[in-house]
């Protein structure tokens, strides 16, 4: 059996996909304030920067950069997931449990990719920002509220009409068959 290996690079920049256990759920966007609070609390406990992020109903994509000398991204995701779960429980949101009693809100693992260079970073930022269009949630990137795209526009990095309309095409990191 092949053993999965993560690439632990102190001070590295990583792309993540983190998913709810129930892919039909919309808890991430229904309780976006609780998720933002969970990120903020985790950042105060164990600093990291959020370079890009998009939150969809059942999953999120993010690029995080860790401080120099620190490679514990798994601990940060454990904190974010835990704080979000705790906030939902405190709000009396009923959450399913696994047979061992653990909460079944999040998938146990996450996808991680080490960002290699500026081009890799740019491709993943584009993928993140275009993801709501890819999933058919909106026709234009600018219409999805839960995205760092709006920060990129405010900072003058991207124009408001970046990527145009969904009917105009574009791959944005997706493989073509």
Q: Give the pLDDT confidence score for residue 101 in this predicted structure.
A: 86
| C-alpha–C-alpha distance, residues 68 and 166, integer Å | 39
Residue 177 has pLDDT above 60, yes or no: no
**Partners of residue 20 on adjacent β-strands:** 106
Q: Give the pLDDT confidence score for residue 9 in this predicted structure.
A: 79
- 117-160 tens-digit pLDDT: 999 999 999 999 999 999 999 999 999 999 999 999 999 999 99
The domains of the chain are located at 13-164
Which residue, among 115, 99, 116, 98, has the nearest Cα to 107 in the 3D structure?
98
| C-alpha–C-alpha distance, residues 167 and 109, integer Å | 34
Class of the CATH domain delimited by 13-164: alpha beta
Residue 109 has pLDDT above 60, yes or no: yes
Q: Residue 151: which residues within 8 A CB-CB, separation 6 or more?
A: none
- Using 50, 70 and 90 to split pLDDT, how confident is the model at 7? confident
**Residue 177 CA from chain centroid, whole number:** 26
- 37-94 tens-digit pLDDT: 999 999 999 999 999 999 999 999 999 999 999 989 999 999 999 999 999 999 999 9
Which residue, among 78, 76, 48, 53, has the nearest Cα to 63 in the 3D structure?
53
Quote the pTM value.
0.88
């Amino acid at each position: 059996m092949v053993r999965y290996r993560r690439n632990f690079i102190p001070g590295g920049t990583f792309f993540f996909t983190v998913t709810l256990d129930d892919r039909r759920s919309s808890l991430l966007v229904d309780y976006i304030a609780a998720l933002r609070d969970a990120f903020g609390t985790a950042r105060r406990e164990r600093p990291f920067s959020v370079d890009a992020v998009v939150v969809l109903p059942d999953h999120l994509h993010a690029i995080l950069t860790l401080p120099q000398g620190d490679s514990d991204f798994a601990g940060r995701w454990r904190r974010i997931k835990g704080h979000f779960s705790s906030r939902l429980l405190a709000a009396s949101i009923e959450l399913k449990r696994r047979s061992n009693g653990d909460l079944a809100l999040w998938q146990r693992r996450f996808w991680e990719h080490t960002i290699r260079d500026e081009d890799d970073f740019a491709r993943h930022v584009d993928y993140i920002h275009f993801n709501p269009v890819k999933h058919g949630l909106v026709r234009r990137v600018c219409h999805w509220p839960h995205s760092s795209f709006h920060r990129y526009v405010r900072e003058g990095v991207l124009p408001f009409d970046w990527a145009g309309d969904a009917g105009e095409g574009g791959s944005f990191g997706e493989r073509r068959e």
